[in-house]
Amino acid sequence: MEKEKTIAQQKKEALLSSAKHAVMRMSDEELAACDAFCEDYKVFLDKAKTEREAVSFVEDALQKNGFIKFVPGMELKAGDKIYVNNRSKAIIMATIGTAPITEGVRLNAAHIDSPRLDMKQHPLYEDNELAFFKTHYYGGIKKYQWTAIPLSLHGVVIRKDGTSVEICIGEDENDPIFCITDLLPHLAANQMKRTLNEGIQGEELNILVGSRPFKDDRESNLVKLAIMDILHEKYGIIEDDFISAELEAVPAFKAKDVGFDRSMIGAYGHDDRVCAYTAFEAALGSKAPVHTGVTILTDKEETGSDGNTGLCSAYLKYFIYDLAECFGANGRAVLSASRCLSADVNAAFDPTFPDVLERNNCAYFNRGVCVTKFTGARGKSGTSDASAEFVGEIRRLLDENNVIWQTGELGKVDMGGGGTVAMYVANLNVDTIDVGVPVLSMHAPYELVAKTDVYAAYKAFAAFLES
Ligand code: MN
Ligand code: MN
């Protein structure tokens, strides 16, 4: 028989918050569903390493699931599914709800760009019979982490005549990969004296792309010529075509289970494809929501959300205004009544580096999806800080839908911090809060997430769309 609880025990249960490992709170069936969901997530991770590939993956799935291209002015009714592709680098999808549009939309907003190395406009050069690509890193990276790992090359080249060619080399088992060299420790005495920040510098992130010359005794720079010759043969491009190209080098690693217990996933670019994928799956599963459910997968978050495919641009606002007009409503009124989950990752507590996070207010692996009231840094600069009322609403929603969740702040108060798209959506007068998956080794070429947190994020985004 169970012992009677002491008054202190009863009060503890009633008054104090308790956090439990997700596995302790999930049935065997739910855990199996979680692991199955993560198998599909790994497929997405390997197929969609760049924003363009993510848009193409998502658009394909949307078309197969009855979503049609949105045309301003079109007639829409509850249950209709529409999408807008913004320049192949961002995408908005929506399912029309039964409530009037003036009651606002439910918006899940995630980003599909990840830190990487972009090729410069004149990337190809030869030095001592080795051919390289010059790069300019994209987003916040620890540069030393990007040397001596396999890299693949993704992107698009627009030829002089306006035709385009897509490039993806290094993902297929039989493809070659690329690599940035680092100095051998034997000769690195001076390099080792550099700070970690300068251990590898921006202009040292040069990607080795070839070493065999074009056979000719009279000319020089023949390795470069041989590489350009291969590229011309395979893709029909010439050196000047790099000027009108977007080529991105990303880690060539595949997504893999991590740990003896397979409880985690290691992959490039969980930030933020883990929220993009879960939000997208939630959108696919949404059939007849009350409020119109909108999911936006945006670009350029990692560089500050500027540009016409980033969320500082007006493309989201224009979409909501156009949508409102389809119902004869005012766009401004729709935005003001709308709610948004800014779906982005947060830092998970790392016992190896415990000093940067405050243990009472940070996110942990396997404690569920992380709700973050405010982001920013040092004195809450650069954030939208969700209202207590809106946090209360989200708290009830997650509890009512049995979503495992926790709260987390990105680092100790004076330590640093980071932002998401939350403030740009909030600036449109939308109630907005950050909700996302805790990540270890964030922005590293190989990031980690816990599977139960991925599944909890999916459940959170799905519940929100149905609210
Ligand atoms: Mn992010
Ligand atoms: Mn990031």
Name the token pair of 93. 């999808």
- β-bridge pairing 68-69 and 256-258: unpaired
Alpha-carbon dihedral of residues 323, 328, 330, 331, nearest 10 degrees? 10
> How would CATH label the architecture of 16-114+268-465?
3-Layer(aba) Sandwich (3.40)
Which three-class secondary structure state does DSSP give residue 265?
Answer: strand
> 407 to each of 140, 222, 318, how far by Cα in Å?
24, 58, 32
> Which region holds residue 349: left if phi is over 0, alpha if psi is between -120 and 50, else beta?
beta
DSSP characters over 277-311: HHHHHHHHH--S-SSEEEEEEES-GGGTS-STTST
The whole-angstrom separation of Cα 447 and Cα 449 is: 7
Task: With beta carbons less than 8 A apart as the criterion, state whether 287 and 95 touch.
Answer: yes
**Residue 253 CB contacts under 8 Å (≥ 6 apart), including other chains:** 149, 150, 266, 267, 268, 445, 446
Name the token pair of 281. 């799956």
Name which of 155, 149, 210, 211 is nearest 180 in CA terms.
149
Name which of 255, 315, 295, 290 is nearest 65 in CA terms.
295
Q: What is the pLDDT of residue 288?
A: 86
Burial of 37 (0-12, 13-18, 19+ CB in 10 A): middle
414 CA → ligand 2 middle, Å: 19
E runs forming strands in 184-290: 207-210, 245-251, 256-258, 264-267
Q: Is the alpha carbon torsion for 194, 197, 201, 206 positive or negative?
A: positive
The whole-angstrom separation of Cα 125 and Cα 292 is: 52
* Radius of gyration (C-alpha) of the chain in whole angstroms: 24
> How would CATH label the architecture of 116-251?
Roll (2.30)
The whole-angstrom separation of Cα 30 and Cα 38 is: 12
Which ligand minimizes its atom distance to the CA of 441?
Answer: 2
Q: What letter represents residue 423's amino acid? A: M
Q: What is the pLDDT of residue 21?
A: 96
Task: With beta carbons less than 8 A apart as the criterion, state whether 407 and 373 touch.
Answer: yes
The whole-angstrom separation of Cα 450 and Cα 452 is: 6
Angle between helices 451-465 and 270-285 (to 10 degrees): 40
The whole-angstrom separation of Cα 278 and Cα 45 is: 12
436 CA → ligand 2 middle, Å: 12
70 CA → ligand 1 middle, Å: 27
> 79 to each of 283, 328, 363, how far by Cα in Å?
12, 18, 36
What is the residue whose two structure tokens read 């090359």?
A: 153
Name the token pair of 319. 């979409």
Task: With beta carbons less than 8 A apart as the criterion, state whether 107 and 425 touch.
Answer: yes
306 CA → ligand 1 middle, Å: 14
Which ligand minimizes its atom distance to the CA of 342?
Answer: 1
286 CA → ligand 2 middle, Å: 27
420 CA → ligand 1 middle, Å: 6
312 CA → ligand 2 middle, Å: 16
The whole-angstrom separation of Cα 137 and Cα 121 is: 13
344 CA → ligand 2 middle, Å: 8
Q: What is the pLDDT of residue 442?
A: 98
How many secondary structure helices (H) and strands (E) does the chain include? 11, 23
Whether the upstream peptide bond of residue 399 has omega within 30° of 0, thus cis, is no
112 CA → ligand 1 middle, Å: 9
Tens digit of each residue's pLDDT, the chain (467 residues): 568 899 999 999 899 988 899 999 999 999 999 999 999 999 999 999 999 999 999 999 999 999 999 999 999 999 999 999 999 999 999 999 999 999 999 999 999 999 999 999 999 999 999 999 999 999 999 999 999 999 999 999 999 999 999 999 999 999 999 999 999 999 999 999 999 999 999 999 999 999 999 998 888 899 999 999 999 999 999 999 999 999 999 999 999 999 999 999 999 999 999 999 999 999 999 988 999 999 999 999 999 999 999 999 999 999 999 999 999 999 999 999 999 999 999 999 999 999 999 999 999 999 999 999 999 888 888 889 999 999 999 999 999 999 999 999 998 998 888 889 999 999 999 999 999 999 999 999 999 999 999 999 999 999 999 99
Which ligand minimizes its atom distance to the CA of 272?
Answer: 1
- Bridge partners of residue 359, in order along the sequence: none
Domain extents in the chain: 16-114+268-465, 116-251
75 CA → ligand 1 middle, Å: 35
Q: What is the pLDDT of residue 2?
A: 67
Do 116-251 and 16-114+268-465 fall under one CATH topology?
no
The whole-angstrom separation of Cα 268 and Cα 266 is: 7
Which ligand minimizes its atom distance to the CA of 116?
Answer: 2
305 CA → ligand 1 middle, Å: 11
Q: Integer distance in angstroms from the first to the last C-alpha of the chain?
A: 42
Which ligand minimizes its atom distance to the CA of 112?
Answer: 1
Name which of 93, 32, 46 is nearest 281 in CA terms.
93
- Bridge partners of residue 245, in order along the sequence: 157
299 CA → ligand 2 middle, Å: 11
The whole-angstrom separation of Cα 416 and Cα 371 is: 19
405 CA → ligand 2 middle, Å: 21
pTM of the model: 0.97
The whole-angstrom separation of Cα 24 and Cα 49 is: 33
Which ligand minimizes its atom distance to the CA of 115?
Answer: 2
Which three-class secondary structure state does DSSP give residue 185?
Answer: helix
